Amino acid sequence: MEMNPIQYFTISIIPVLLAITVHEAAHGYAAKYFGDKTAFFLGRITLNPLKHIDPIGTILIPGALLLLSAPFLFGWAKPVPVNFSNLRNPKKDMMWVALAGPASNFFMAIIWVILLNFTQSTQVNYSLFISGMCQVGIMINLVLMLLNLLPIPPLDGGRMAVSLLPNPWSYKLASLERYGMFILLFMIMSGLLTVILLPLLRFFQNLLVGIFL
């Protein structure tokens, strides 16, 4: 289905908000499960997108990428606050709290693929609109999963690496957190992020389509 940028933006609103909102809520739920109730007390374990929206990361960046017809979408929400010292086993449990976000995106991508399969196999009203929404849902969730699994603090993959590495290496990697967003910005501007993510994105898209479609 050929769409102009405004139509593409319209069908992308729900998938993008869901992908980012569920990602952050999953972090909060995992933190609560492992002993830290900071996000719970602040009301951040919720699917209400208003609690998670970041004006730049949730609206401006994804919207600009959509209007510029970028090869993939990504964005972020307000990070769910986690006090790792409250976790029962801070270094070990940090990995599970970090993994919860990307894992939620992977499961949402599966749900979007299943919904796409249902839409294509039935003559439901607005099927073209829904199938377009499903395709965006698959893409945004896989991109968020893959992006956040990069081993760069403060991304989830960076926190997972800090959890898994021996203490001397863990401390060194954690010390890079202050530079993490600059590293990511460099990767975006240099095109390195696209080089890394696109092959992985195609692999997981083909994998899910092959299994569920």
Q: Which of 19, 24, 77, 157 is catalytic?
A: 24
What is the count of structural domains for the chain? 1
| 24 part of the active site | yes
Note the pLDDT of residue 132: 87
118, 133, 13: which is closest to 63 by C-alpha?
13
Predicted structure pTM score: 0.88
**CB neighbours of residue 143 within 10 Å:** 23
Torsion over CA: 12, 15, 18, 21 (sign): negative
Note the pLDDT of residue 3: 65
Note the pLDDT of residue 69: 67
Q: What is the span of the domain harbouring residue 113?
A: 5-212
According to DSSP H, which parts of 151-191 are helical? 156-164, 167-174, 180-190
Q: Which DSSP category does 191 fall into?
A: T
Q: Could you list the pLDDT tens digit for every one of the 213 residues in the chain?
A: 566 667 777 888 889 889 988 999 999 999 999 999 999 998 888 888 888 888 887 778 777 776 776 666 667 788 889 998 999 999 999 999 999 999 999 999 999 999 998 887 776 656 778 888 999 899 989 999 999 999 999 899 999 999 999 988 999 999 988 998 889 888 888 889 889 999 999 999 999 988 887
Tell me, what amino acid is at 21? T
Note the pLDDT of residue 28: 94
CA distance 183 to 162: 17
Note the pLDDT of residue 2: 60
Note the pLDDT of residue 203: 95
Cα–Cα–Cα angle for 198, 201, 203, nearest 5°? 110
Note the pLDDT of residue 5: 67
